Amino acid sequence: MSPAETDWTDRASRVALLGLLGLGIAAIFLPMVLTLYLSVFNEQMIVFPPRGYTLAWYGRIAATFGAAIWTSLQIAVVAVALSLALGIPAGIGLSRHRFRGREALSTFLLSPLTVPGIAVGLAIYILAIWIEERSGVTLAGSMRLLILAHLLITMPWVIRLCLASLTNHERTTEEAAASLGASPLMVIWHVTLPAMRPGIIAAGLFAFIISFENLEINLFLVAPGITTLSVSVLQYLGYHIDPLVAAVAVAQMVIVGAALLLLDRFVRLGQVLT
């Protein structure tokens, strides 16, 4: 091949690469930009081009979706707290002890990640009804059940991130602490937990986002009076197509985006995910 030809194919492949990259970025960001754009239309219906622009839709979020946002936040916060309280000890235990069935247990704990959310939601709903029929305890449509269901999908992340944060942990530092007079609980408090700090923060924020954004499980478990943001947006869309939905979507993106930015400040995301 002549130098000129090499030059040409080089340039062609670079152009193709840049084109694909641009396409990928557009596919990711275009819907977001469009949502942002729609949310400021001064129209009752989404028509194009709009007559004008307004921020009024943002002012109406609280009136329409305030209760749902509050419910979602409550569920997310409690789910995060509980999944950390259970997941951190589980992560420490799994990383410390090599026992028979450890691999199987790890896989089992991560299985909610692989089962479709809609199937999990349906299964939990059926189970709740079944328990209710036999024991008379009302579970379906309660906040308790929603939180327990969310725990099922947040726990695997928490355990996984806690385990990852301990893979490079020097166990000898724990022995050093013990030889300096720290009891086993003090060792965990002063040595193990600080070593897990980035993983714990990441786990908490991930769990929050997963719980806050969930739709598939919520669909089966909400009840009048207890509706999460995702479900109430879906219900609203059944009757209205106006820029309010776009505005609430932007609001949700801002909340989640803020959480992710916060996360990235404490830990490099790539580091805990690999």
One residue of 191, 217, 222, 229 binding other proteins per CB under 8 A: 191
One residue of 61, 127, 148, 190 binding other proteins per CB under 8 A: 190
Question: In 10 A of CB 134, how many CB atoms?
Answer: 8
One residue of 197, 235, 257, 262 binding other proteins per CB under 8 A: 197
Size of site (CB under 8 A) for other proteins = 20
Coil, strand or helix: which one is 168?
coil
Question: Which residues in 165-184 contact other proteins (CB under 8 A)?
Answer: 170, 172-173, 175-184
* Cβ at position 235, least distance to other proteins in Å: 48
Coil, strand or helix: which one is 226?
strand
State both tokens at 243.
Answer: 């820029």
State both tokens at 173.
Answer: 């530092």
Q: Which one, 96 or 144, has the nearer CB to other proteins?
A: 96
C-alpha–C-alpha distance, residues 119 and 57, integer Å: 35
**DSSP character string of 91-156:** HHHHHH---TTHHHHHHHHHGGGTS-HHHHHHHHHHHHHHHHHHH----TTSHHHHHHHHHHHHHH
C-alpha–C-alpha distance, residues 157 and 203, integer Å: 6
C-alpha–C-alpha distance, residues 149 and 218, integer Å: 9
Q: Length of the chain, please?
A: 274
Q: Which one, 60 or 190, has the nearer CB to other proteins?
A: 190
* Cβ at position 180, least distance to other proteins in Å: 3
CA angle, residues 40, 43, 46, in degrees to nearest 5: 85
Q: Which one, 59 or 194, has the nearer CB to other proteins?
A: 194
Does the footprint of other proteins cover residue 194 (CB under 8 A)?
yes
Q: Which one, 182 or 234, has the nearer CB to other proteins?
A: 182
| Contact string (CB under 8 A) for other proteins, positions 132-171, x = contact | --------------------------------------x-
C-alpha–C-alpha distance, residues 45 and 245, integer Å: 11
Does the footprint of other proteins cover residue 198 (CB under 8 A)?
no
* Cβ at position 169, least distance to other proteins in Å: 10
* Cβ at position 165, least distance to other proteins in Å: 13
- Binding segment for other proteins (CB under 8 A), chosen from 3-11, 152-160, 188-196, 211-219, is 188-196
Give the residue among 48, 45, 71 at the shortest CA–CA distance from 57. 45
Q: Which one, 135 or 179, has the nearer CB to other proteins?
A: 179
* Cβ at position 230, least distance to other proteins in Å: 38
Q: Which residues bind other proteins (CB under 8 A)?
A: 170, 172-173, 175-184, 186-187, 190-191, 194-195, 197
